[in-house]
């Protein structure tokens, strides 16, 4: 279907916004009136620029407070409308958004509002303009799309229809099913925005916290499916008011927005196919589909880059990893334990402290994964591959982490043979990479929340706020449905992140083991000194859980931390931080599926003084 984006979604000048929308692959734009008013170009120049960029100008917006007013005020509305409709002619635009009245309405009567929209429609028709009437969620009297449709139906004018905005419908909890009762020809426009689940006044929620599809809590897939079942075939347009997106790079945000619509189109197409298998293809909406992929089977490898990797090598050796050798053409080494593989990369790393730089996923169909990544226009990562080396396709995540994938195998992957002169893999208590915890810059976390599900079919598994000595760390978890891949995303307090402090700004690799107590003792015997946990923690632990005194003493002795819920137990310990990276070793008992979030504040405090 045709795609569009409101210029209010993007930073920069109107000229910048149009160029970015075109480069990202949008078909058209909604022109936000303040962007035009502030532009140095004339309406004719904006129209010509859009033509050169192959963009249609789909909707002029907004005209406010046009109905529900007394006759004196409505005369002023008509005067204002004449000027705006003439301006739209200069722009070559034929559709204007009119919002339900939020300020000056004095008459709470559907017939009165309908009569005024009918009169406005008469004026609009003289200019070849149509009116898309929208119920704002904070409208004084009309705040429900169903009432807006009743008013439009009463107006009974060919130039008057409705605009459906997902935020205004879903933020109020209105059931979108009745959208299917609106005739397709009266749905003039569709605006889309996601949003997080927040408890706040709806106006502030709308103005500052909208998100692109796939990043929030709304069922946008179901919402769009209702609109398309009604017969709407106009543009899928994004209207996202967000403080972050209006500050960040214009071209990047536009590409991010277009990716969200690609994901949404595919998800809606699949929903419609599931709801009506075998439906007439001719009647189906022309939605773009993505190549289907299954979520990764697990982590193929984790890469840490540093100029000097020896401190990480020492930690891995103490934990029981085996040195598997050095790459035959690159300054890269491989360490393994169980099926967990840590790649240490010294290439192009001058002046770089240890940091988590890349993740490898094991996937069922690498070719399908590559096709999907290309369809979503994800930026590709490049590394030189020599003859007889296994090529690993990769993309760059919004935070700069490189994401690779290789075909899933029961044994070791093919690329392992490129590492030479190492030791045979030794038995160890470590089994797999349990999860990777990534600290995200505040300005890219929303994009990242969309990126992993869109590209790798991961799903959102909840969020939480973790207190640290320097402020709240916001955490969101992405995972595969079976839990084989788990990626908590943490947003450190901005000042902490800027300072690069330990208490909230680092990445870590969590490794699952069979017997955490045995591993902790073995690692200590090999010289590993875990992160010191304060004695007060164990006093509190004894008060919170009915653990035997001997077990508390053992946990204290080994600096192990503990959590429990109705499904099982979770024991874990941490290493010291090296550069930007530390390791966590975990044991899951029973069906425990969390991350010991209650222990994170203690860990963050301990890291702040290590």
Handedness of CA 399, 401, 402, 406 (dihedral sign): negative
109-118, 262-271, 340-349, 471-480: lowest mean pLDDT where?
471-480
pLDDT band at 278 (very low <50, low <70, confident <90, very high): low
pLDDT of residue 177: 97
Instruction: Write down the residue that tokens 């192009």 correspond to.
Output: 348
Place of tokens 């290789």: 406
Name the residue with tokens 């300072």.
Answer: 499
Q: Does the structure show a pLDDT above 90 at 498? A: no
How far apart (Å, rounded) are the C-alpha atoms in residues 210 and 230? 25
Q: Residues 81, 120: contact at Cβ < 8 Å?
A: yes
Helix 310-319, helix 516-525: angle, nearest 10 = 130
Q: What is the pTM of this model?
A: 0.92
Across the range 469-479, mean pLDDT stands at 80
Instruction: Report residue 436 as tokens.
Output: 């990777």
Distance of alpha carbon 508 from alpha carbon 510, whole angstroms? 6
pLDDT band for position 399 (cuts 50, 70, 90): very high
What percentage of the chain exceeds 70 in pLDDT? 95
Helix (H, G, I), strand (E, B) or coil at 4: strand
Residue with tokens 């200590």: 524
Would you say 312 and 350 are in contact if contact means Cβ atoms under 8 Å apart? no
CA 591 to chain CA centroid, nearest Å: 28
Q: Token pair for residue 287?
A: 């939605």
Question: What is the predicted pLDDT for the residue at 502?
Answer: 42
pLDDT band at 501 (very low <50, low <70, confident <90, very high): very low
Q: What is the pLDDT of residue 495?
A: 61
Section 299-313 average pLDDT: 97
Query: Residue 246 above 90 pLDDT?
Result: no
Predicted pLDDT at 463: 76
Lowest mean pLDDT among 164-178, 321-335, 482-496, 511-525: 482-496
> What is the average per-residue pLDDT within 10-17?
96
pLDDT at 443: 84
Strand partners, 438: 489
Mean pLDDT over all residues of the chain? 93
Residue 516 confidence (pLDDT) above 60: yes
Residue 356 is classified by DSSP as E
Q: Please, which residues bridge with residue 380 across strands?
A: 395
Q: Distance of alpha carbon 452 from its chain centroid, rounded?
A: 8
Q: What does the pLDDT average to over 546-560?
A: 96
For residues 280-305, give the mean pLDDT.
89
pLDDT at residue 284 in the model: 74
Q: With contact defined as beta carbons under 8 Å apart, do 193 and 5 qualify?
A: no
282 pLDDT above the threshold of 60: no
Q: Residue 160 in contact with residue 149, Cβ under 8 Å?
A: no
Is the pLDDT at 505 greater than 70? The verdict is no
- Whether residue 42 is predicted with pLDDT greater than 70 in this model: the reply is yes
Among 136-150, 270-284, 507-521, 537-551, the minimum mean pLDDT is found in: 270-284
Q: What CA–CA distance (Å, rounded) separates 5 from 239? A: 6
**C-alpha 22: how far from its chain's center?**
22
Check pLDDT > 50 for residue 504: no
Tokens of 16: 């910048």
Tokens of 488: 């908590």
Give the Cα separation of 127 and 62 in Å (integer): 17
* Strand spans (E) along 92-212: 95-99, 130-134, 160-165, 187-192
Residue with tokens 């859009």: 50
Q: Model confidence over 95-138: pLDDT tens digits?
A: 999 999 998 888 999 999 999 999 999 999 999 999 999 999 99
Contact call for residues 338 and 428 (beta carbons, < 8 A): yes
Output the six-digit token pair for 110. Answer: 């559907």
100: left (phi over 0), alpha (psi -120 to 50) or beta: beta
Please report the domains of the chain, with CATH numbers, ordered by start residue: 3-275 (3.20.20.150), 298-609 (3.10.180.10)
- Per DSSP, the three-state class of 368 is helix
- Helix residue ranges, H only, 92-199: 110-126, 145-155, 166-170
**For position 503, what pLDDT does the model report?**
44
Distance, in Å, from the CA atom of 86 to the CA atom of 60, rounded to the nearest integer, reads 12
Phi/psi for 428 (5° steps) reads: -155, 160
């Amino acid at each position: 279907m045709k795609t569009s984006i409101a210029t209010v979604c993007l930073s920069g000048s109107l000229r910048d916004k149009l160029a970015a929308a075109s480069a990202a692959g949008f078909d058209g734009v909604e022109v936000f009136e303040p962007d035009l008013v502030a532009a140095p170009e004339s309406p004719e120049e904006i129209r010509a620029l859009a033509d050169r960029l192959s963009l249609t100008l789909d909707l002029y917006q907004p005209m406010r407070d046009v109905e529900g007013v007394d006759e004196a005020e409505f005369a002023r509305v008509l005067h204002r409308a004449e000027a705006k409709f003439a301006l739209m002619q200069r722009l070559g635009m034929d559709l204007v958004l009119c919002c339900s009245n939020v300020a000056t309405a004095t008459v709470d009567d559907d017939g009165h509002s309908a009569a005024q929209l009918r009169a406005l429609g008469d004026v609009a028709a003289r200019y070849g303009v149509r009116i898309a009437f929208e119920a704002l969620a904070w409208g004084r009297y009309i705040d429900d799309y169903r009432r807006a449709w009743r008013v439009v139906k009463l107006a009974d004018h060919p130039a008057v229809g409705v605009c459906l905005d997902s935020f205004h419908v879903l933020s109020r909890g209105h059931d979108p099913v009745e959208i299917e009762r609106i005739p397709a020809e009266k749905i003039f426009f569709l605006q889309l925005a996601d949003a997080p689940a927040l408890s706040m006044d709806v106006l502030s929620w709308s103005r500052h916290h909208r998100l692109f599809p796939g990043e929030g809590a709304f069922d946008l897939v179901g919402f769009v499916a209702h609109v398309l079942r009604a017969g709407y075939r106009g543009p899928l347009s994004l209207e996202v008011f967000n403080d972050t997106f209006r500050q960040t790079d214009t071209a990047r945000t536009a590409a991010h927005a277009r990716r969200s619509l690609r994901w949404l189109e595919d998800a809606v197409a699949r929903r419609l196919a599931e709801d009506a298998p075998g439906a007439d293809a001719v009647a189906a909406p022309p939605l773009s589909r993505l190549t289907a992929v299954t979520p990764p089977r697990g982590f193929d490898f984790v890469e840490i880059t540093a100029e000097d990797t020896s401190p990480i090598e020492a930690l891995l050796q103490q934990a029981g990893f085996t040195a598997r050798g050095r790459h035959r053409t690159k300054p890269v080494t491989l360490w393994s334990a169980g099926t967990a593989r840590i790649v240490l990369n010294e290439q192009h790393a001058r002046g770089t402290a240890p940091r988590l730089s890349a993740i490898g996923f094991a996937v069922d169909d690498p070719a399908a994964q590559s096709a999907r990544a290309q369809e979503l226009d994800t930026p590709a990562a490049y590394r030189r591959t020599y003859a007889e080396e296994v090529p690993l396709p990769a993309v760059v995540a919004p935070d700069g982490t490189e994401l690779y994938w290789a075909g899933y195998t029961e044994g070791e992957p093919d690329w392992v043979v490129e590492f030479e002169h190492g030791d045979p893999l030794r038995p160890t208590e470590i089994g797999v990479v349990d999860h990777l915890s990534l600290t995200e810059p505040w300005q890219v976390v929303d994009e990242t929340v969309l990126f992993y599900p869109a590209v790798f079919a991961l799903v959102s598994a909840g969020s939480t706020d973790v207190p640290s000595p320097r402020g709240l760390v916001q955490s969101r978890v992405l995972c595969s449905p079976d839990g084989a891949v788990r990626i908590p995303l943490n947003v450190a307090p901005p000042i902490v992140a800027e300072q690069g402090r330990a208490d909230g700004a680092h990445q870590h690799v969590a490794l699952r083991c069979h017997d955490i107590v045995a591993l902790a003792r073995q690692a200590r015997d090999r010289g590993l000194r875990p992160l010191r946990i304060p004695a007060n923690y164990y006093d509190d632990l004894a008060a919170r859980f009915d653990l035997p005194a001997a077990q508390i003493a053992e946990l204290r002795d080994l600096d192990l931390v503990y959590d429990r819920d109705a499904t099982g137990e979770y024991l874990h310990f941490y290493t010291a931080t090296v550069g930007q990276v530390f390791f966590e070793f975990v044991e899951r008992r029973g069906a425990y599926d969390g991350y010991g979030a209650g222990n994170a504040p203690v860990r963050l405090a301990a890291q702040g003084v290590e």
